[in-house]
Amino acid sequence: MTIRWFYYAAPPNFYALAGRLWPWLAALAGILALAGLWIGFGLAPADAQQGEGYRIIFVHVPVSWMSMIIYLAMAFWSILGLTFNTRLSGMMTRALAPTGAMFAFLSLWTGALWGKPMWGAWWVWDARLTSELILFFLYLGYMALTSAIDDVRRADRAGALIAIVGAINVPIIYFSVKWWNTLHQGASVSLTRSPSMAQIMLWGMLLMALAFWAYTLAIVCYRVRSLIIERERHADWVQALPEVAGVKS
């Protein structure tokens, strides 16, 4: 099966595709989250060291992964945008940024609520925490810069530079627990060795991670449609949309 990539790079076609996709992705996110929460809070036993407090893992690890993955996705779309000069790339990058910022904040928030009972501190200036804080600021910087430039295509290009240059921070976050001596523990799950946690806990965490993946894809599909309408509002195809005519009447 061949996918016509450039066909979907055209905003009218992607608008229709995203409109078909987002309700399914949203439903999938809901089902996965319910399953993950059921396993995480209903079936998984207490942790030997941390008791019930470890259950923060079912949200902390997924939101932290998403905060890094979304930034890489922004860098990916930015490279495509600068290379092919496609309009959709900038819109995808912008649609991703608020969700990424939210996940970076939630990573810090849930981390603080986990750090306080286990380490005795809400915050420490350790490599993992500090590099995640920088990621949060990179998201805010991207959003502030792109919204400060009136010409949207120029704003997209300026934002693309932040997204691409800032992406260097993502491997720094990921490997920070190896490269530096940090208070934050190492990875519980990695591709190169078997996970260092009980099967049932791992399943709960992976289901929650998949739920946030589906949620992110759904909200980005939804948000990019608003951006497409806003930017292409002069085009005949937008004016011909039944939902636009519906608002007018």
Partner 1 sequence: MRWESWSQFWDMGGYGLYVWGSMGVTALFVLLEIWQARIAHQNALALAATEQQDKP
Whether the CB-CB separation of 143 and 98 falls below 8 Å is answered with yes
**Which residue, 109 or 123, has its beta carbon nearer to partner 1?**
109
- The residue within the footprint of partner 1, chosen from 23, 117, 171, 186 (CB under 8 A), is 117
Q: Does 102 bind partner 1 (CB under 8 A)?
A: yes
Pattern 59-88, partner 1, x by CB under 8 A: xx--x-------------------------
Size of the site for partner 1 (CB under 8 A): 44
User: Which span sits near partner 1 by CB under 8 A: 10-18, 36-44, 81-89, 172-180?
Assistant: 36-44
Cβ neighbours of residue 166 closer than 8 Å, sequence gap 6 or more: 71, 75, 135, 138, 141, 142
Q: Quick check: 53 binds partner 1 (CB under 8 A)?
A: yes
Handedness of CA 123, 125, 129, 131 (dihedral sign): positive
Alpha-carbon distances, residue 227 vs 31, 67, 95, 154 (angstroms): 28, 22, 8, 16
CB of 66 to partner 1, least distance (A): 11
DSSP, collapsed to helix, strand or coil, labels residue 47 as strand
Give, as one character, the DSSP assignment of residue 39: I
For residue 158, the surrounding DSSP H or E stretch is helix 152-166
Residues that bind partner 1 (CB under 8 A): 41-43, 45-46, 51-53, 55-56, 59-60, 63, 98-99, 102, 105-106, 109-110, 113-114, 116-117, 215, 219, 222-223, 225-227, 229-230, 233-234, 238-239, 241, 243-248
